[in-house]
Amino acid sequence: MQYTNNTANKFDSTELEKLIQRPFIDSEDLNQLVKKIFSDIKKNGDESLKYYTYLFDKVKIDEVKIDKNRIKNPSGLSDELKEAMNLAKNNIEIFHKAQIQKSVKIETSKGVNCWREDRPIEKIGIYVPGGTAPLLSTVLMLGVPAKIAGCKEIILCTPPDKNGNINPAILFAAELIGIETIFKVGGIQAIAALTFGTESIPKADKIFGPGNQYVTAAKQEALKYGMAIDMPAGPSEVLIIADESGIPEFIAADLLSQAEHGTDSQVILLSDNEEMIKKSLEEIQKQLNLLPRKTIARKALENSRAILLNNIEECIELSNNYAPEHLILALKKPEKYLRQISNAGSVFIGNYSCESAGDYASGTNHTLPTNGFAKNYSGVSVESFMKKITFQEISKAGLERIGPAIEMMAEAEQLMAHKNAVSIRLNQLKSLKSLEENSSNKTLKTDQSMLDRLSESLGGLKS
Ligand SMILES: [Zn+2]
């Protein structure tokens, strides 16, 4: 991790940003591969799916779908892990359930009622990486909000290991939230299958889930075929802002926790305290050597930097420009700065809110915008699994009130059919009114049934 002391220089966030530029990933060759696999899966379905699974995962699979009974009884899981996953699931559920908003009917003008209602997206595809880090937490982070949203079908794809098996913890997580449709396919071919549908795998309406650069490129390709995805993804990252109250051991541990995600991950430490930075960097070296994934973490640290700035305000400004996926505030008075944070995926406040808590069990979602997308994207929430449908109901009096404005605007846009859709109704209402006036003058001559019919059709006018 490189160290820069910027206190003698003028604070220029554009200049400083160059120091913490994210590693560039050239995906040109990758895109060619993605295109080839997409067209194969589209043409040959399951057959190509099995071929690519053999090619990339080195395993022959006869059946891509996992038997329901296999999901119900995953073997080799400790009770402690099961309990841990239960705790995490409960917290995720509590936090996400609170996101559901009651629909409110709004009368924008008298007689003009408008409201929005939620509807679940019907078929959700969830991609769960397997391999060296089977992300069982991702099953919970995506499955729980999908269930709360009421999605009808959750299709989970995850790659098999060399023996054709799925990690039992992933199966247990699926069972915990009631996901019954699991397919053992991974990588680009899984995303392609969810995009087009195959003989075994249903076509999804929206695809969620993290993945390596292959999966990321595949999700981008899926967009071209009208698929929706959770968000554009990139390598994981954390930015820590610490003052003298930060604890170097904790800071080092948090930086390493993101560095171990992948060699292309990036971690940043900003501080107004030189001592703090120096101690944290020393501590990183100590802790790094004890990690099983130290080779990955060490590589990630090469793209990482610690910067000494004059004050915490400068740290916040640089962080806002960087827009980190995770932002940790190891500050004495963090509440002072919360309003100033404009770009971040998820914020962890104080020395005891470690980033791992949000990854697993505090309740917030860990599917967050990386790669600067925190400037324009939110993390996954229940809303990500829903659509909002707007409704409106306009009474006769309501249309009389807003109709002339609509006519005027439609005419200005030269869309006369639009104008006419209003005029034809307003004219009818006018003639009904004059009929009512005439008939009230001649009540004696009018028979009762005609009066009934009129009063029925004019009912709305009185409101
Ligand atoms: Zn993490």
CA distance 445 to 226: 64
CA of 356 relative to ligand 1 center, distance in Å: 6
**Which pLDDT value is given to residue 458?**
61
Residue 418 has pLDDT above 60, yes or no: yes
Give the mean model confidence (pLDDT) for residues 441-452: 59
CA distance 230 to 373: 12
- Which residues have C-beta within 8 Å of that of residue 62, sequence separation ≥ 6? none
DSSP for 398-456, written as a single string: HHHHHHHHHHHHHHHTT-HHHHHHHHHHHHHHHHHHHHHHHHHHTGGGS-HHHHHHHHH
Residue 433 has pLDDT above 50, yes or no: yes
CA of 106 relative to ligand 1 center, distance in Å: 42
CA distance 399 to 426: 8
pLDDT in tens, 215-266: 889 999 999 999 999 998 788 899 999 999 999 999 999 999 999 988 888 9
**Which pLDDT value is given to residue 28?**
79
Question: Out of 1.20.58.220, 1.10.10.60, 3.40.50.1980, 3.40.50.1450, which CATH number does the structure's domain 28-232 have?
Answer: 3.40.50.1980
**Which pLDDT value is given to residue 239?**
97
Name the catalytic one among 325, 355, 400, 407: 325
**Which pLDDT value is given to residue 441?**
67
Q: Given pLDDT bands bounded at 50, 70 and 90, which one contains residue 210?
A: confident
The strand pairing partners of 183, in sequence order, are 65, 157
Q: Given pLDDT bands bounded at 50, 70 and 90, which one contains residue 268?
A: very high
Looking at residue 382, the DSSP 8-state letter turns out to be: G
Q: State the fold for domain 2-24+235-363.
A: Rossmann fold (3.40.50)
CA of 357 relative to ligand 1 center, distance in Å: 9
CA of 85 relative to ligand 1 center, distance in Å: 17
CA of 347 relative to ligand 1 center, distance in Å: 13
Share of the chain above pLDDT 90, in %: 74
Look at phi and psi of residue 158 and say left if phi exceeds 0, alpha if psi is from -120 to 50, else beta: beta
Q: Given pLDDT bands bounded at 50, 70 and 90, which one contains residue 463?
A: very low
Q: What CATH number has the domain spanning 395-462?
A: 1.20.5
Domains 2-24+235-363 and 28-232 share a fold: yes
Residue 444 has pLDDT above 70, yes or no: no
Q: Given pLDDT bands bounded at 50, 70 and 90, which one contains residue 455?
A: low
Count other C-beta atoms under 10 Å from residue 394's C-beta. 19
Residue 151 near residue 178, CB atoms below 8 Å: no
CA distance 337 to 353: 16
Residue 442 has pLDDT above 80, yes or no: no
Residue 306 near residue 281, CB atoms below 8 Å: yes
CA of 354 relative to ligand 1 center, distance in Å: 10
- 397-to-111, 433, 438 alpha-carbon distances in Å: 6, 12, 20
Least confident span in 140-144, 287-291, 454-458: 454-458
**Which pLDDT value is given to residue 343?**
97
- 463-to-110, 398, 428, 430, 438 alpha-carbon distances in Å: 9, 9, 17, 16, 21
**Which pLDDT value is given to residue 207?**
97
Question: How wide is the angle at C-alpha 265 spanned by C-alphas 260 and 271, nearest 5°?
Answer: 95
CA of 84 relative to ligand 1 center, distance in Å: 17
Q: How far is CA 272 from the centre of its chain?
A: 33
CA distance 225 to 195: 7
**Which pLDDT value is given to residue 69?**
74
Residue 212 has pLDDT above 70, yes or no: yes
Give the mean model confidence (pLDDT) for residues 367-382: 95
Residue 155 backbone phi and psi in degrees, to 5: -110, 115
Least confident span in 14-28, 41-55, 73-87, 370-384: 14-28
Lookup: tokens for 251: 């800071």
Higher per-residue confidence, 440 vs 295: 295
Q: Given pLDDT bands bounded at 50, 70 and 90, which one contains residue 17?
A: confident
Q: Given pLDDT bands bounded at 50, 70 and 90, which one contains residue 373?
A: very high
Least confident span in 11-15, 114-118, 357-361, 457-461: 457-461
Least confident span in 14-23, 151-160, 316-325, 357-366: 14-23
CA of 131 relative to ligand 1 center, distance in Å: 17
CA atoms 251, 253, 258, 263: torsion sign: positive
Q: Given pLDDT bands bounded at 50, 70 and 90, which one contains residue 462?
A: very low
CA of 257 relative to ligand 1 center, distance in Å: 6
pLDDT in tens, 271-323: 999 999 999 999 999 999 999 999 999 999 998 999 999 999 999 999 999 99
Name the catalytic one among 96, 261, 314, 326: 326
CA distance 155 to 158: 10
Residue 451 has pLDDT above 80, yes or no: no
Higher per-residue confidence, 71 vs 117: 117
Give the mean model confidence (pLDDT) for residues 170-191: 93
CA of 185 relative to ligand 1 center, distance in Å: 24
Cβ contacts of 48-52, under 8 Å, gap ≥ 24: 48/189, 49/185, 49/189, 49/193, 49/198, 49/200, 49/201, 52/187, 52/188, 52/189
Model pTM score? 0.88
Count other C-beta atoms under 10 Å from residue 234's C-beta. 20
CA of 238 relative to ligand 1 center, distance in Å: 8
CA of 402 relative to ligand 1 center, distance in Å: 52
* C-alpha closest to that of 118 among 388, 435, 444, 411: 388
- Which residues have C-beta within 8 Å of that of residue 99, sequence separation ≥ 6? 145, 148, 381, 382, 383
**Which pLDDT value is given to residue 132?**
65
**Which pLDDT value is given to residue 452?**
66
**Domain ranges across the chain:** 2-24+235-363, 28-232, 395-462
Q: Is 418 a catalytic residue?
A: no
Q: Is 326 a catalytic residue?
A: yes
**Which pLDDT value is given to residue 24?**
75
- How, if at all, do strands 2-5 and 305-308 pair? parallel
pLDDT in tens, 32-82: 999 999 999 999 999 999 999 999 989 998 888 987 776 777 778 899 999
**Considering the chain, what is the average pLDDT of its residues?**
91
**Which pLDDT value is given to residue 379?**
96
